[in-house]
Amino acid sequence: MSDTDRQEQLMAQALAEIRRLKAENKVLQSGESSGNSGAVAVIGLACRMPGAVETPEALWDLLRRGESTISEVPAYRWSIDQYYSSDLEAPGKMACRFGSFLGEVDGVDCRLFGISPKEASYMDPQQRLLLELAWEVLESANYSADRVRGTDTGVFIGQSGFDFASQHMNEDSLEEINPYVGTGCAFSPAAGRISYTFDFT
């Protein structure tokens, strides 16, 4: 193949790519979707953050002010004096008295979500918060629960921290373990709980 032939081939490939990109750009500008554009629309927001932040607006205010949410461990979480030691080598002790903490993680509107008070008492606070935040996301998007009922809606959860389950495993005797312990403490049911509550398919 001569240099001229090679150049013509490269120019033809470049022209074909330009035409393809122009066509793709036209589709994107028209608002049509080819089904694989990868575009995501965020239409509802909700959050819980340390510092009594319970809305996205409050989060932005906190960030704009540049305030810290770090505080001493609240007494309702655990007795810091029982676990803290300034001796970094002390076994079973914490070396820090501070952190950022969510407030009021133990409540949930049982009636709203069709959960019995007994079941709610065995639910990890993360699951309780997820239900509340799912509801708030819908409100933020101006959707009612009825509007999304039965829709093809995916629920994807990133969850960590197993302290609630560990606490129950350490404190509960075998006689006190019930069907709510497994679904309330495990990570796996969290997304399903939202799907079930809102009747997503």
pLDDT digits (tens, 9 = 90+) for 118-176: 888 888 889 999 999 999 999 999 999 999 999 998 899 888 887 777 776 665 567 77
Is 122:185 a contact under the CB 8 Å cutoff?
yes
pLDDT in tens, 173-198: 677 778 888 888 888 889 999 999 99
- Give the count of beta carbons closer than 10 Å to the beta carbon of residue 181: 16
Cβ count within 10 A of residue 85 = 13
0.75 exceeded by the pTM? no
List CB contacts of 105: < 8 A, sequence separation 6 or more: 125, 128, 129
